[in-house]
Structure 1
Amino acid sequence: MKTILRNFLSVLRRFKTASILNVLGLSIAYVAFMLIMMQVNYDYTFDRSHPGADAIFRMDRVNGNSSCAVSSRPLARAVAESSPHIESSCIMTAWTNRYFFYVDQDGDRKSYDETLWLATPGLLKVFNFDMLEGDYDVLEEPNAVVIPASLAKKIFGNQPAVGKQFISSNANADPLVVKGIYKDFPRNSALGNLVYGSISPQENF
């Protein structure tokens, strides 16, 4: 080992420029290889946090060469009920909303701005929500929301979050009640770590 190291240092001293270029080239190649493999791993494991990812499908309406995932609620419900092989289904709004709210804790009011996505209660069963608190039927309750563990920590610290209210900046809107906490999704998931709420049972029914 000493002989190898001595020979390496001797070559390094004799051919400084070539040695630096070789080391630099190997370093760049190694970094490039690692970056490519990180991206490959990101893509290959995309949505694999959902064990049944291969059995989750999105319904699109096809019109010529274009398709659209937006459809009427009765049609989506009819498709979901059309086969006994469909174990669970959910309908999600076509867009997310910025939700401005505040939380009162011991007389201390703090304001927040988070992304809210509304869905039917089946959302928690179609996708792999790892519920840390609450059960998989909580979105059946009116004005119920589930939030990621990171947001619960951010807002409430070590205090219990379930049962707390998010009071909207819109005085005419009902408060949303935290009914469940789910484990954060990894970054390579189609679902983000958002506030998920329940669609009104009568909306576009």
Structure 2
Amino acid sequence: MKVMFFRNFLTTVRRFKLACGLNIVGLSVAFAAFILILMQVSYESGFDKGYPQQVYRVEAKDSVDHWAIFARPAIDVLLSGSPAIAQGTMRPCYLDEQYVSLERNGTKEAYIESYAPIYPGDFEVFGYELTEGTREAFDDHTKLLLPQSIARKFFGNESAVGRLITFENQTDEEGRKKTFEVGAVYRDFPANSSVPNCIKRKMAPGENEGQWGNQNYWCFVTLWPGSDPEEAARQMTQAYASFGKPDWVSGEQTFVLQPIDEVYYDTTVSFDMAPKGNRTTMTLLLSIALLVIGIAAVNFVNFATSLTPLRIKNINTRKVLGSPVGTLRAELIFESAG
């Protein structure tokens, strides 16, 4: 039966080449455009929504401005400013480019890669998935954390844990180049995530501690279940205002917790280097996708309707020759689906 349907379908295509060709090309282009647009809409709408729990970015406001970058001592105060905070972390708002080298198969290889110092709480806040190593590597400032993409780039299919990587442009107190051991490898975060897939390491003791003027860090937190973000932000504001800061550091500011998946669409924050999208553009793309499918459907109906007189003649002839009505209906459905 299916073979007969297909043979009749090919016969119809040969008889009405132009109409069938336009139908096939039109629907193919429409569906291709529809799928591509939906892929972009899915990317935009899913930005920073893949974490195991709700993550908030700490932001500050005063009477004239709204910002989200802080110095490390300020973040230390904020992370201890509310009992509602379950985990907290910080990372630089821009990535440092490091010239690194390693030994592989007896040969020294060098690369330029992005690098970021982080708090150990980064692991819990963003839900890292380790493919090699253990969680303890996030607590050791002498261990490096590599995304899987960089680990494969450096070491191929060999295990990366335990291998040594030298930072060619960093030296210790004795003038020797700093060398670190790889402590863990994590699965790369998706492209629609603001978490960078770069070399990371726990911030070294004393790194920018007390440096109130070095405002280069973002602060992210998660809250205990049932906690109120507004109440947590109010407690953080009180803790910051009462903390002993240098005289030139203003304490007259209010802190807010913004869901990280809203940061992508917020353009009101000053000096915000986070990736940005536009809800209006996303809605417009979705509307265009639906319009393309709608136009394709209308064209399909128009072409099918234009062939109605000829198809009726063909169907009547086949009914006179004894073709069952059910078979004719099935063939029409098969042609439309094809």
Q: Give TM class, smaller chain.
A: 0.7 to 0.9
Distance in 2 (CA, whole Å) between partners of 1:24 and 1:158 is 44
TM-score w.r.t. the length of structure 1 is: 0.86
* Displacement of 1:195: 0.9
Distance in 2 (CA, whole Å) between partners of 1:185 and 1:94 is 17
Which residue number corresponds to residue 179 of structure 2? Answer: 175
Does structure 1 retain, via aligned residues, the 8 Å contact 2:168–2:178? no
Distance in 2 (CA, whole Å) between partners of 1:135 and 1:60 is 32
* Displacement of 1:3: 5.1
Which residue number corresponds to residue 150 of structure 1? Answer: 149
Greater Rg by CA: 2
Does structure 2 retain, via aligned residues, the 8 Å contact 1:96–1:118? no
Aligned ranges 1:83-122 → 2 under 5 Å: 83-122=82-121
Distance in 2 (CA, whole Å) between partners of 1:199 and 1:47 is 24
1:103-135: CA deviation from partner (whole Å, max 9, x where unpaired): 023531011121111112221121111123333
Q: Which moved more, 1:108-117 or 1:37-46?
A: 37-46
Distance in 1 (CA, whole Å) between partners of 2:77 and 2:206 is 16
Distance in 2 (CA, whole Å) between partners of 1:69 and 1:174 is 31
Which residue number corresponds to residue 200 of structure 1? Answer: 204
Aligned ranges 1:1-205 → 2 under 5 Å: 1-2=2-3, 4-52=5-53, 54=54, 56-63=55-62, 66-170=65-169, 172=171, 173-205=177-209
Distance in 1 (CA, whole Å) between partners of 2:66 and 2:136 is 32
Does structure 1 retain, via aligned residues, the 8 Å contact 2:13–2:20? yes
1:33-90: CA deviation from partner (whole Å, max 9, x where unpaired): 21122223333443343211x2x11111224575322112222221211112111111
CA shift in 2, pair 1:120/1:11, >3 Å: same
* Displacement of 1:170: 2.1
Instruction: Decide which structure has greater helix share.
Output: 2
Given residue 115 of structure 2, which amino acid in structure 1 is its aligned partner? Answer: L
Does structure 1 retain, via aligned residues, the 8 Å contact 2:98–2:169? no
Does structure 1 retain, via aligned residues, the 8 Å contact 2:165–2:181? yes
Query: Could you list the runs of 5+ residues in structure 1 that have no partner in the other structure?
Result: none
What is the SS of the residue equivalent to 2:112?
strand
TM-score w.r.t. the length of structure 2 is: 0.54
CA shift in 2, pair 1:13/1:107, >3 Å: closer
1:143-178: CA deviation from partner (whole Å, max 9, x where unpaired): 322002232222123433222221122263412321
Does structure 1 retain, via aligned residues, the 8 Å contact 2:163–2:182? yes
Given residue 133 of structure 1, which amino acid in structure 2 is its aligned partner? Answer: E
Query: Could you list the runs of 5+ residues in structure 2 that have no partner in the other structure?
Result: 172-176, 210-338
Distance in 2 (CA, whole Å) between partners of 1:31 and 1:191 is 31
What is the SS of the residue equivalent to 1:89?
strand
Distance in 2 (CA, whole Å) between partners of 1:16 and 1:88 is 65
User: What is the root-mean-square deviation of aligned Cα atoms in Å?
Assistant: 2.3
Percent of paired sites with the same residue: 32
